[in-house]
């Protein structure tokens, strides 16, 4: 009887953690690795943009180069 009552919560958990990674042919941990790497490079691009905002002669193309590379990675996945 406990298996029947746990089924809906298990499906909800699978929906939260497994459904989306499966749509891009990744495991949960593979998707986590990709997302963490993506977040790292986005953070670096943000920092470069802040440096450029303060001192325009620095990091002139850093943020845009990172964003172009990230865009290419996303496009190649779909």
Q: What is the DSSP string of 56-77?
A: TTSSTTHHHHHHHHHHHHHHHH
> Looking at residues 8-29, what average pLDDT do you find?
87
Q: Above 80 in pLDDT, residue 27?
A: yes
* pLDDT at residue 8, rounded to an integer: 66
48-74 average pLDDT score: 97
Mean pLDDT, the chain, integer: 90
Q: Return the domain boundaries, the chain.
A: 2-77
Q: Is the pLDDT reported for residue 33 higher than 90?
A: yes
Return all residues near 45 (Cβ < 8 A) that are at least 6 apart: 62, 63, 66, 67, 70
Both structure tokens of 71: 């865009």
Q: What is the mean pLDDT of residues 60-75?
A: 96
Is pLDDT of 5 > 60? no
């Amino acid at each position: 009887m406990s298996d029947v009552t746990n089924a809906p919560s298990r499906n909800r958990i699978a929906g939260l953690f497994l459904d989306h990674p499966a749509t891009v042919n990744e495991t949960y941990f593979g998707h986590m690795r990709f997302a963490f790497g993506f977040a790292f490079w986005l953070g670096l691009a943000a920092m470069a943009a802040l440096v450029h905002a303060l001192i325009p002669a620095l990091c002139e193309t850093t943020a845009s180069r990172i964003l172009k590379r990230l865009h290419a990675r996303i496009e190649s996945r779909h």
